[in-house]
Amino acid sequence: MAPAPRARRGRSGGGSRLARAFRPKLRWLWLYLPLAIVACLVGVLVWGWTTVNGLYRIDLGNAIVPATGSAVNYLIVGSDSREGITSDTPNAGAIGPGVAGRRSDTIIVLRVDGSEAKMMSIPRDLWVTNAATGKKGRINAAYDAGPQNLVRTVTTNLGIPINHYVEVDFVSFSSMVEAMGGITIDFPHPAHDDRSGLNVTASGPVLLDGTQALAYVRSRHYTEVIDGRDVTDPTSDLGRQQRQQTFIRTVLKTVGETRNPVTAVKLVGAASDGVRVDSELGFTDVFGLARNMAGSQPVSVILPTTPTTKGRAQVLELTTSAAPPILSQFGAN
């Protein structure tokens, strides 16, 4: 009779021993894997908390007020600060080095109520009463006395309560877009602006890097190529406001849809050198905003204004007959 196949028994016995040897290790793996995941989440939360709380804070006193309901109003200001800008800075032409100080280049009110949001641009040339001086002038000049005065001027003239303040300068703007991996804007036609540096050679969705995104929102001479002809945007600052709102809407939607706290923290970290926020804006506010904006499309609202002349200056006055129903959408009294 042929002997039993020892090799087979040997292989079977070795496999059993090998399986038994790995069982404890697998048990340890299943034990520690959840702990490792929790540790990573805690690390991200600590990182996010530290990053958000490390932003430059501005004490706006009672110029900002606590939200009384579910709706929150954010005053978003794009500052034209040139701090850190040199001739070697990418797209320096769009930024314009050599001008000292800060001025408000963009003023937008964003109202978020759960998953619903509205945004309204406030033209820089809007003719208002300066809260600090009591004198009439462009709202852009109200920023000269500081963010607190700008917030007070907005509330005094438009009746809109401001709950949080966010200001971004040009350098941080580009860094934030880069941290997101670029931003995709849908262009109906190829477009360019030789002064800002914008150069989009194709229509449709185009991924803009930080410098081109900056050139897009700063463009004052936006020119489309339609049927081979250059057509300059005839709406001037109104068109610029709409492009800025398109950009902010896309940023909020992109960040919100990621549902990724790491992406949000990277975005805040990239902006940390040039972003200024009110002293009450906290970690939960930032991530609550990103969560609420997931998949939403903020509605653009146009502030009714009428062109006029003050002295020799071309300015915009609030159209008092049409403004109240618009302003009431932002909680104005």
Question: Would you state the pLDDT for residue 160?
Answer: 97
Q: Which residues pair with 223 in a beta bridge?
A: 192, 232
Pairing of strands 116-121, 104-113: antiparallel
Question: Would you state the pLDDT for residue 282?
Answer: 75
**39 assigned to some structural domain:** no
Q: Which residues pair with 316 in a beta bridge?
A: 126, 307
Written as one letter, the residue type at 317 is E
**312 assigned to some structural domain:** yes
**18 assigned to some structural domain:** no
**3 assigned to some structural domain:** no
Distance CA 133, CA 144 (A): 11
Q: What residues in the chain have per-residue pLDDT under 70?
A: 1-54, 56, 80-104, 255-274, 283, 286-288, 290-296
Domain tally, the chain: 1
**68 assigned to some structural domain:** yes
Q: Which residues of 130-158 are buried (b: 16+ CB within 10 A; e: fewer)?
A: bbbeeeebbbbbbbbeebbbbbbbbbebb
DSSP letters along 119-173, please? EEE--TTBEEE-TTT--EEEHHHHGGG-HHHHHHHHHHHH-----EEEEE-HHHH
75: three-class secondary structure by DSSP = strand
Nearest 5°: the CA angle 131, 168, 296 is: 100
- 287: domain range? 54-328
Question: Would you state the pLDDT for residue 84?
Answer: 47
For the CA atoms of 179, 208, 245, 293, what is the dihedral angle to 10 degrees? Answer: -40
Task: Write the CATH number for 203.
Answer: 3.40.630.190
57: three-class secondary structure by DSSP = strand
**49 assigned to some structural domain:** no
| Whole-prediction pTM | 0.72
**36 assigned to some structural domain:** no
H or E element at residue 92: helix 92-95
Q: Which residues pair with 309 in a beta bridge?
A: 314
**290 assigned to some structural domain:** yes
Question: Would you state the pLDDT for residue 136?
Answer: 95
Question: Would you state the pLDDT for residue 174?
Answer: 78
